[in-house]
Structure 1
Amino acid sequence: MNKRLISLFLSGTMLLSVFMGFTSSSSSAAEPVTTSGNPIFTSIFTADPSAHVWNDGRLYVYPSHDIFPSRGSDLMDKYHVFSTDNMVDWVDEGEILSADDVPWGRPEGGFMWAPDAAYKDGTYYFYFPHPSGTNWNDTWKIGVATSNKPASDFTVQGYIQGLPGSNLIDPSVFRDDDGTYYLYAGGGGKSYGVKLAANMTSTDGPLKQFTELEDFHEATWVFKRGSTYYLMYADNNPGGNRMRYATSSSPLGPWVNRGVILDPVVGSETTHGSIVQYKGEWYMFYHNAKISSNGTLRSVCVDRLTFNADGTIQKVVQTSEGVPAVGPRSTATEVKYYDLINENFNAYTQKTEYAMNASNVTFGGGATRSASNIIENMHTQGSYIQLNGINGGAGGKALLTVQYASGDSGAAFKVDASGDTAGDGYFLSLPGTGGWGNYTGRANSLIDLNPGTNNIIKLSGGMGGANISRVTVSLVPQTTPTTPIEYPMSGSNVTVGGGATKSGNGSIENMHIPGSYFEISGVNGGTGGQKLLTVIYASADSQTTFKVNASGDPTGNGYSLTLPGTGGWSTFTGKVSRIIDLNVGTNNVIRVSGGMGGANVTRIIISSVP
């Protein structure tokens, strides 16, 4: 599944655009960032993180996925995996499993709750709870999927037979020092453990219930430190569950209760987590609702965990900073939360406003338009506003701004836009403004649009109310290069093939070989259309012909370019030009193919047509 990303904002003037549809980003080694920030996953809503360190040296997190609009937790689906090699830069490895992949699963889908994973003898095992029937709470199964990779190509193998069907959720799989594996699961106040058979898909021995755990609710996690086994779980604390833990000298108890190690989290009554050691440090992963302010749209966080000298655990301090890096900076797809909330949109100056009575605005699903041209009743399930014929310019990122009033404490919209390649939409949070007539709310979200003027933007309600007065779409203005842009052949955006080579002096040689070519990517076409291509070269041949292909060529046939000889292979006095077509923006590719005479090329130049 393609990457989705989140963009966020805070309060009435800056809001949080969360979810799905941003582009990936890469962290740079030059950035001064040294901590992960919390939450750590900002591309989609995630909860119930299970963290593991595999033999490749990376730490992997297997969370559940809150789907927007959440409708409680029944729509949870589409498991993703995230990984890191330094605790700071996180990669969404993509979707590994959905309800559609479970042949024995509930016909209506959904209910893909907290999972876990294990590794044995070259196989990765993914354990997930899922009902097999419409009566979901009495038909829970612990499914098993396998792969030879930690974050892709999982196939459902079935489910573990002989387990209770009621409230059996939140599987946790623990490997003991002797290579024995144990399965833990439970919910609704009942906690269980059982030894797994060698095949990892069935049990070996009786199921044991841990009645000694104090105020057990759900969310079991088991790990070992030294000779002590630790069992962490969520309790039933009113208003917000807490994480408690117990210890034992045996993987199946009896357990000694040790108290609370994580207080209720921000914005969510639920809690669920995992504890793991990585590169010498201990961590607790957990979730909160800091991004969405909605307890069923959660986000994974991580903080350090500390043991006392006697092996007991200090209560984990929940921070906004997260944890420091434990290795050099690396590639990341997850934008850090603190970068999101500090993001500005000063470059988006090409604004188009749409009043709610504009001819391209439609609404439905219970939404209504008042006499003063305000769209109301967006709290109704199924309500929506749709804007047609939106100009996306050259395509790519656009800033959506919704002007509104809300007497609720907070509302949320799902935003769908034509350019969203992932198809999941974007989450838009609308904090309350103090009244239904107080139009001081400004909610912003970066969305993706296609090039041109045929884009559609749809705002879907049903999670709190907001009256909408207008919507603004802002673009970064496209500029046509007035100054010629040179692309040297030594540039990192230039590739060669088919026998063509890059020389030490920065020129491309051996273009006489049939099949030879060089390709320049990231060429700026400005506003698109006709541009002047100029090639600087040397040639001892009397005449050479190149074929030029360019992104904006409407025919697809390419262009012919004739290069007269310059009298020598090092006489770089040759300069030939011709008009080509480029697309709007900076994603153009120009390919020059040889094989009809030789020429050594040092650079090309793109300029406006005189």
Structure 2
Amino acid sequence: MPSKFPFWLTVLALFLLPRAYAQNPFITNQFTADPTARVFNGRVYVYPSHDIRCGPGRGRSGWFCMEDYHVFSSANLTDWTDHGVIVTQNKVPWVQPDSYAMWAPDCVFRNGHYYFYFPATPRDTTGGKGFRIGVAVATQPTGPFVPQPQPIADVRGIDPNVFINKDGQAYLYWSQGNIYGAKLKDNMLELATAPQTLGELPAKGLKEGPFVFERNGTYYLTYPHVANKTERLEYATSASPLGPFTVQGVFMDESPTGCWTNHHSIIEFNRQWYLFYHHNDLSPQFDKNRSIRLDSLFFEPDGRIRKVMPTLRGVGLTAARQKNQLDRYSRLSPGGASIAFLDTANRFGGWKTVLAGPQSWVQYNGVAFGGSKLKTVTLRAVSAAGATVYIRLDGPRGPVLARVTVPSGRGWQDIKAPLTTSASGTHALFVAPQGNGAAVEIDWVRFE
């Protein structure tokens, strides 16, 4: 849908909004979870839930705590813009005030409007306890969204997902013990058919977070499932949006560090498929404060989803002139190299790369140098004894791009050094101390 604002005002607004950059997690200034990604007008919009820390009078201690929703967008999956809060709990007529239960949402476009679906705890519990699912409507993907006065009738549960078939029929899916589906009326606000249980899925273990998409005539129902102790991502396929479905298997394994939940969405963008999901990167000791991630997804020739291996590097290219966060590495030496928080008291500050041994190194892929004539590199680093760091292109035997001397000291320093060779196009950065050099910690690398 065309914007009602002049193009230059839209560009200016995007420039002035808070920014984030690709690498996992790709939002690091707040907790985010349950990302639903959608492509609108050639731009990717992500609608996650917003974890916050519970406290006295603010949610249930030790549990999930969410009071509002933000939306983020990107034209290249590298540079992300935070468009701010679009729906908040105490401004929805039917939601119980201060219930802090604004869980996983979805958003779709139809008939000139954007429909934002979200679960919450209702004020009115005469029809029974539990979550209801409501809708807020806007004429722009970033809002303003106007919540409907009542939730959708005959729907109880969480994790709404809407799929619009090629014939124009819209379907609503949600979970509450089982996964359910029903057709939606053209107004996108009411059910057109009675809910039905998608009963061909595993009977044992929690199932939630449905996300449905179609590819080459096959309908994929994807969902988190607790087969053991934590959620893994599984999928089933069908020739029809409401099944019957055939379980096909797992496409992302359980968290190796024990994050209990996962919640996801899948999109095709510029002829590549992507998986959006979450993990507790910024809160490793408390898995109710999560952060959203993004990795590429691929299909086998027979249509099966290839298992996705989570990465820290994520997707997209990082411009050489941006801060390249080496701690979101592509490869890390098995000995002497590690990642740590810059400040454990403020984990939103991100991470650092610690190169502690003579054979330690880190490699960061996908740096776009373009055709520009860059002349210097700035390395933000600290080394108690001082160190010399080599930056090479594309591996340990690649050409030396720069040699940076880090003076001894205990405080972070931004050290600028000349480039010893030119670079253009896209390359990996390979960073290592010289020979038997002293330990060094690196925050980021940037070229000018």
Q: What range is the shorter-chain TM-score in?
A: 0.5 to 0.7
1:154 to 126, 137, 145: 145
CA contact (8 A) 2:19 2:81 kept: no
User: Structure 1 288/135 Cα, relative in aligned 2: closer, same or farther at 3 Å?
Assistant: farther
1:63 to 21, 32, 48: 48
1:187 to 151, 160, 176: 176
Percent identical across equivalent pairs?
39
1:180 Cα shift? 1.2
2:234 to 229, 232, 244: 244
CA contact (8 A) 1:45 1:297 kept: yes
1:209 Cα shift? 0.6
1:336 Cα shift? 7.5
Distance 1:229 1:251 in 2: 6
Aligned twin of 2:197:
209
1:298 Cα shift? 0.4
Aligned twin of 1:172:
161
1:78 Cα shift? 1.4
1:39 Cα shift? 0.7
Instruction: For residue 158 of structure 1, give the secondary structure of its aligned residue in structure 2.
Output: coil
Distance 2:159 2:46 in 1: 15
Aligned twin of 2:254:
264
User: Structure 1 234/25 Cα, relative in aligned 2: closer, same or farther at 3 Å?
Assistant: closer
Instruction: For residue 260 of structure 1, give the secondary structure of its aligned residue in structure 2.
Output: strand
Instruction: For residue 311 of structure 1, give the secondary structure of its aligned residue in structure 2.
Output: coil
AA paired with 2:172? L
User: Structure 1 225/429 Cα, relative in aligned 2: closer, same or farther at 3 Å?
Assistant: closer
1:100 Cα shift? 1.1
Aligned twin of 2:445:
none
Aligned twin of 1:123:
113
Higher relative contact order (CA 8 A, sep 6+): 1
Aligned twin of 1:313:
305
AA paired with 2:266? I
Aligned twin of 2:68:
78
Distance 1:25 1:183 in 2: 32
How high is the TM-score relative to the length of structure 2? 0.65
1:159 Cα shift? 4.0
1:544-563 mapped onto 2 (5 Å cutoff): none
Paired residues, what number? 317
Distance 2:200 2:303 in 1: 20
1:110 to 87, 100, 104: 100
Instruction: Answer with 258-267 or 193-202: which moved more.
Output: 258-267
Aligned twin of 2:85:
95
AA paired with 1:275? I
Distance 1:248 1:220 in 2: 14
1:221 to 207, 211, 216: 211
Aligned twin of 2:384:
none
1:428 Cα shift? 8.3
Q: Deviations over 1:332-361 (max 9, x none)?
A: 9xx8865799xxxxxxxxxxxxxxxxxxxx
In the alignment, is residue 274 of structure 1 matched against residue 265 of structure 2? yes
User: Structure 1 73/278 Cα, relative in aligned 2: closer, same or farther at 3 Å?
Assistant: farther
CA contact (8 A) 1:145 1:158 kept: no
Select the structure of larger CA radius of gyration.
1
Q: Deviations over 1:312-346 (max 9, x none)?
A: 11111111111124xx96999xx8865799xxxxx
1:26 Cα shift? 6.2
Instruction: For residue 90 of structure 2, give the secondary structure of its aligned residue in structure 1.
Output: helix
Distance 1:340 1:317 in 2: 15
CA contact (8 A) 2:17 2:83 kept: no
CA contact (8 A) 2:213 2:220 kept: yes
Aligned twin of 1:43:
29
Aligned twin of 1:542:
none
User: Structure 1 329/475 Cα, relative in aligned 2: closer, same or farther at 3 Å?
Assistant: closer
1:290 Cα shift? 1.4
Aligned twin of 1:291:
282
CA contact (8 A) 2:17 2:82 kept: no
CA contact (8 A) 1:141 1:159 kept: no
1:36 Cα shift? 2.6
1:75 Cα shift? 2.2
User: Structure 1 336/270 Cα, relative in aligned 2: closer, same or farther at 3 Å?
Assistant: farther
Aligned twin of 2:6:
none
1:238 Cα shift? 2.8
Instruction: For residue 200 of structure 2, give the secondary structure of its aligned residue in structure 1.
Output: coil
Structure 1, unaligned runs of 5 or more? 1-22, 28-34, 342-400, 403-411, 416-425, 431-473, 477-610
AA paired with 1:194? A
Distance 2:130 2:279 in 1: 28
User: Structure 1 331/89 Cα, relative in aligned 2: closer, same or farther at 3 Å?
Assistant: farther
Q: Deviations over 1:193-247 (max 9, x none)?
A: 0000010000111211111112451110000001000000011133321011000
User: Structure 1 211/337 Cα, relative in aligned 2: closer, same or farther at 3 Å?
Assistant: farther
